[in-house]
Chain A
Amino acid sequence: MKEKSFKSKIKKDFTRNKWKYFIVIPVIIYLLIFAYKPMYGLIIAFKRFRPQLGIMDSPWVGLQNFKSLFRDFYFTRSLRNTFTISLLSILLSFPAPVLLALLLNEVKVKWFKKTVQTITYMPHFISMVVICGMIISFTQTNGIITDIVVFFGGERANLLAQTKFFYPIYIISGIWQQVGWDSIIYLAALSGIDQEQYEAAKVDGAGRLKQMIYITLPGLIPTISMLLVLKLGKVLGVGYEKILLLYQPITYEVADVISTYSYRKAFVNADYGFSTAIGLFNSVVNIVFLLASNKLSKKMGQSGLF
């Protein structure tokens, strides 16, 4: 009886919302093909994969790939560097677009606002390889950034050849690349804030700073917390492209992250099982962070993701 009512409920739901279900079909297909089907490939992590044999016929090796991973000499170092870079970028790169959006919001001269926006978007559209090429030239002994460092009393040297400069270069260039693009979503959220609130605040005698602190910022908090949760869910997903292009053996100590180390390892040994094991490990850590931060976000009174 209960079963039947459940079925009929579903049926009713389908007939009522059929167009909604229709619209969602492409998304479901997309997820099935590009998110669920590849999960089948995860069994490579427990195999000694050989492409010519295919996934099914490659021999099982149990947990050997994971043992290699945890026993690996550079595993802890790569893990530490990954966390460091990730946390630094959450601390420093994450607030930058919020700040930019807040400032832009205060600018009332339209042409100036537009110009600033266009200029800050631009680096986002330059290919990573070109960006890194520029960074490498600018930080050479006679590069323009080195000139600036020297002007402020630094020593003239190749900046990328020193461990102490790697994080600043990585983070600052990252902010420069993404700040404009990432601020778009905040600007969109800002336009959704009720203008009457500002008028009310003005009547109450709030200056621009107070308006920003008590109206604009709280209006942005849901967006910020959502993006932060998403960001924390990718804590181990430090992209390897940029690091690969910028690091040198001399900076491995601070720059070598899990993805670059596994890249080098796979490149030398074509060890797919090992790489997949790393991928699986990454996903597990990421999901733990995602769930934890989501919970935290809810605890702090925000809605969270789910």
Chain B
Amino acid sequence: MKNKNLKHLLVLTMSLSMVAGLAACGNTDTPSANVEETQQTVVESTSTSTQESETPVEPEEITYPLDTDVTLSVWTNRLALNSEYSDYTESPFHTGLAEHTGVDLEFQFPAKGLSAKEAYNLLLTEDVLPDIIFRNFSNGTAELEQLYNDGVIYDLTEYLPVYAPDYWAVLTSEEYEDVYKCLASDEGRIYGFAAIYEGDYNKTYRGPIIRQDWLDECGLEAPVTIEDWENVLTTFKDKYGAALALTSDRLLHDWDGLNAGVGAYSGGVANWYLDDNNEIQFAQLQPEWVEYMKVLNRWYKNGLIDPDSITMDANALRTKAVNNQVGATIVPMSQMTNIVTDAENTGNGADWVGVSYARTAAGEPTCAINTSSTNWISKTTGVVTTSCPEEELITALQFLNYGYTEEGHMYYNFGEEGETYTLNAAGEPEWTDLITGDAQGLNCVTKYTGATSSPIAVQASRFVQMKNNEAAAEAVYTWIDNTEVGKHVVPELALTEEENLTYSDYFAAIQTYVQETTQKFITGELSVDDYIDDFYAQLENMGIKECQAIRQAAYERYLAK
């Protein structure tokens, strides 16, 4: 109902604005107050655009800061405040964003003590919502569609090309086709502004790292195949008493074990992948996965894997690394930054470098890197709620569009030119002393920039490099080198509500079963050879085939988009 009204309003104001444009001055004699306000905004924003615009779907050219006195409230679990500030009015990034866009912003963050998800669920029960919600919608478009059907958010499909032309250009570019496909509903509706990774560099933030100094001392090359890894780890164990140590969640993780060394598509997390015929397959049902379990079990038995990996958290891993008990591990960039800093501070002589994901043979592409399946950052999306009055919708869209303009891109990622960054000879941003000299180290970037978890913009690869230390920034290149993982990762699929109910009923049990069986295979509590047939039978029993069929159907719908 509301949306229909708005559509009429849009058409009306568009035609009015053409008239206004031809008359070269604003006509204020319209009967409806609503139309008048909207029209004024439109007139203001069209004043710089070509006066001869023919059709109402021509994009509006927007100049920032916007000339408006609208105040927008923004609820977000992203764009977090730096720990130094207790309120957004103290934060240079947040106040600067209001200045640059010309919109008064009122930020709301999840209350302390609540998880972001709980806070969001509480928020939804309120009668009046903030104008804009920017968060990670973990069920993706299905969740957005639900919100739209419940009348909580606007459908933005028609407005985006007009009022958010810069975002629209990014979304419809060939480069980010995957984002568009994931974001669009089955009917082709777009509900929000996606936070976007610039490219593979950002998508891959985790991988294997190894002690280069020990490799050199032992005269070994960086390991490539599973045999290399076994050889290196055995040498490390004999010579230094160090092992391959992983945190408990990593031990099980899907794409970033060393599984690619035997051509398996997962470790211990129930995982779907696309085979060479573009069909959805379950990683744990493949013979390669069985092979991988045998390898891990052998390593575990021979003491090549630290047995504490099953319970270890990130801090425990750091301690072990400082104490020279770790020869290799698989970590995210930020943790690598920590480990390298620890090594520098204690002077234990460790030289950590990134190494490639395992391969079946040198020169072969690897089928596993820890990567996001799309450029859509954790399904983080900015949506406009129906609590935002219709006459403020355009301002909201223009505000959200800011991050996708050239100027906004730089602001979200690097802050103010001259203040937080300068451009070097190659035209690339470099931090100024304000950042590099900060007592918080590189963690201070959240004071001035908004790209750390996800911006309402494209997250620049350069930002990710600059936010981590050099060793970690370098490591990513070895991780993304010669990979064909893109071919195998299943994109975010939108399940229908019915499908989702059946699927989650089955799949929750399957996930649990796969995790516990994997750990038992690794530690040898269950013998792979004896138990594998039971494992298959049990999966079948739990409905793995039904799940596969649901996924395949959803994938075919995705392809058809």
Residues of A within 8 A of B (CB): 50-54, 68, 72-74, 136-137, 139-141, 157-158, 160-163, 248-250, 252-253, 256, 261, 264-265, 268-271
Contact of A158 with B307 at beta-carbon distance under 8 Å, contacts A50-B146, A248-B519, A252-B516 already known? yes
Residue of A nearest to B312 (CB): A140
- CB distance B311 to A248 under 8 Å? yes
Would you list 17 pairs from A and B whose C-beta atoms are within 8 A, ordered by A residue?
Answer: A52-B147, A53-B150, A73-B509, A73-B542, A74-B512, A141-B306, A158-B307, A160-B311, A161-B311, A248-B248, A249-B512, A249-B515, A250-B525, A252-B516, A268-B504, A269-B504, A271-B504
Cβ of B312: which chain A residues have Cβ within 8 Å of it? Answer: 140
- CB distance B252 to A51 under 8 Å? no
Q: How far is the CB of A44 from chain B (nearest CB, A)?
A: 13
Q: How far is the CB of A265 from chain B (nearest CB, A)?
A: 5
Contact of A264 with B310 at beta-carbon distance under 8 Å, contacts A53-B150, A249-B252, A250-B519 already known? no
Instruction: Give the dominant DSSP class at B's interface.
Output: helix
- CB distance A141 to B308 under 8 Å? yes
Q: How many angstroms between the C-alpha atoms of A163 and B516 in the bound complex?
A: 11
Q: How many angstroms between the C-alpha atoms of A256 and B511 in the bound complex?
A: 14
Q: How many angstroms between the C-alpha atoms of A163 and B268 in the bound complex?
A: 18
Cβ of A162: which chain B residues have Cβ within 8 Å of it? Answer: 525
Q: How many angstroms between the C-alpha atoms of A265 and B512 in the bound complex?
A: 10
Point out the residue from A72, A157, A250 that lies within 8 Å of B520, measured CB to CB. Answer: A250
- Contacts A51-B124, A158-B310, A252-B516 given; 10 further ones with Cβ under 8 A? A50-B150, A140-B312, A141-B307, A157-B307, A249-B268, A249-B512, A261-B512, A264-B512, A265-B508, A270-B121
Cβ of A253: which chain B residues have Cβ within 8 Å of it? Answer: 516
B152 CB-CB contact with A under 8 Å? yes
B505 CB-CB contact with A under 8 Å? yes
B259 CB-CB contact with A under 8 Å? no
B356 CB-CB contact with A under 8 Å? no
Residue of B nearest to A251 (CB): B516
Residue of B nearest to A267 (CB): B117
Residue of B nearest to A158 (CB): B307
Contact of A249 with B518 at beta-carbon distance under 8 Å, contacts A268-B508, A269-B504 already known? yes
Q: How many angstroms between the C-alpha atoms of A123 and B426 in the bound complex?
A: 59
- CB distance B310 to A248 under 8 Å? yes
B523 CB-CB contact with A under 8 Å? yes
Point out the residue from B311, B505, B512, B518 that lies within 8 Å of A136, measured CB to CB. Answer: B311
- CB distance B523 to A161 under 8 Å? yes
- CB distance A140 to B515 under 8 Å? no
Cβ of B307: which chain A residues have Cβ within 8 Å of it? Answer: 141, 157-158, 161
Point out the residue from B306, B311, B508 that lies within 8 Å of A269, measured CB to CB. Answer: B508
Q: How many angstroms between the C-alpha atoms of A102 and B404 in the bound complex?
A: 72
Counting residue pairs across A and B whose Cβ atoms lie within 8 Å, the total is 82
Q: How many angstroms between the C-alpha atoms of A280 and B190 in the bound complex?
A: 39
Query: Which one of A73, A74, A269 has the greatest number of beta carbons of chain B within 10 Å?
Result: A73
B277 CB-CB contact with A under 8 Å? no
Q: What sequence of 0s and 1s flags, for each residue 139-158 of chain B, a beta carbon within 8 Å of any chain A beta carbon?
A: 10000001100101000000
Q: How many angstroms between the C-alpha atoms of A249 and B313 in the bound complex?
A: 15
Q: How many angstroms between the C-alpha atoms of A52 and B542 in the bound complex?
A: 32
Point out the residue from A68, A158, A249, A268 that lies within 8 Å of B516, measured CB to CB. Answer: A249
Q: How many angstroms between the C-alpha atoms of A250 and B251 in the bound complex?
A: 12
- CB distance A252 to B147 under 8 Å? no
Residue of B nearest to A136 (CB): B311
Q: How many angstroms between the C-alpha atoms of A74 and B519 in the bound complex?
A: 18
Cβ of A265: which chain B residues have Cβ within 8 Å of it? Answer: 508
Query: Which one of A137, A141, A160, A250 has the greatest number of beta carbons of chain B within 10 Å?
Result: A250
- CB distance A54 to B125 under 8 Å? yes
- CB distance A52 to B150 under 8 Å? yes
Q: How far is the CB of B320 from chain A (nearest CB, A)?
A: 10
Q: How many angstroms between the C-alpha atoms of A264 and B513 in the bound complex?
A: 13
- CB distance A250 to B150 under 8 Å? no
Q: How many angstroms between the C-alpha atoms of A265 and B511 in the bound complex?
A: 10
B316 CB-CB contact with A under 8 Å? yes
Q: How many angstroms between the C-alpha atoms of A253 and B526 in the bound complex?
A: 13
Q: How many angstroms between the C-alpha atoms of A256 and B125 in the bound complex?
A: 32
Contact of A264 with B152 at beta-carbon distance under 8 Å, contacts A163-B525, A249-B518, A249-B519 already known? no
- CB distance A52 to B152 under 8 Å? yes
Cβ of B117: which chain A residues have Cβ within 8 Å of it? Answer: 270
Residue of B nearest to A57 (CB): B150
Point out the residue from B121, B308, B509 that lies within 8 Å of A51, measured CB to CB. Answer: B121
Q: How many angstroms between the C-alpha atoms of A259 and B312 in the bound complex?
A: 23
Contact residues of B between 212 and 261, Cβ < 8 Å to A: 248, 252
Q: How far is the CB of B427 from chain A (nearest CB, A)?
A: 45
- CB distance A52 to B124 under 8 Å? yes
Contact residues of B between 507 and 550, Cβ < 8 Å to A: 508-509, 511-513, 515-516, 518-520, 523, 525, 542
